[in-house]
Every structure is written in C-alpha cells, then in structure tokens.
Amino acid sequence: MIDFKSRIYRLTRKIPRGKVATYGQLARMAGRPKSSRAVGYYMKVNPDAPNTPCHRVVASDGGLTGYSAQGGIAKKRKMLVDEGVLFCRGKVDLGKSLWQG
C-alpha cells in the first residue's frame, strides 16, 4: 500500500501540460479531503521537480500560492502560461484549465 505523500506525487505527475489541479482536489483524489495543506507542503519539498510538476498545483480559487523554486510565483506563472494554462484577472481560469483527472 502506498502512503499519502506517494499518492500525491503520483497524481501530480499525471497533470498534463496546459492543465492544473488544486491542492484540495489532489487531497480528495488521494483519499484525504481535509489534507490540502499537507499537499501544499509536499509541493514545497518536492524532491523530483520537474518530473513531478508542482507548478501545476494551485489554490482553490485559481490563485498562485507559494513556489519555492528560484523565481518564485512569477516563474510559476510564466511556466503555466508557456504550457497554455489560461488566466483571468490574475488567476488561473479553472473553468478552462482545471484538470479533470
């Protein structure tokens, strides 16, 4: 049986270019719907970027929260834009770019 953290990283690797998932969405998909903060922590300490694309995980309102790699949130936004993620009023347009995993 794989642990919660491993499930989160496995799910994150499935998010395709041009799409995003939310912290809460990943927590629900991994069977622990109240653990979105843990998902955020796992993205922060992600040992396998870019193979585990933590930049594709965003807040439930489409906001770009912390990004620990060099360049911070500005780099996260650029990476998402370069991949084709759509934004509206400074946030990811979840209606168009949310992964339906």
Residue 68, phi then psi, degrees to nearest 5:
-85, -10
**Annotated active-site positions, please?**
54
How many whole angstroms from its chain centre is CA 46? Answer: 11
Tokens of 23: 């912290």
The enclosing H or E element of 95 equals helix 94-97
State how far the Cα of 8 lies from the Cα of 10, in Å rounded to an integer.
5
* Element at 91 (helix H, strand E): strand 91-92
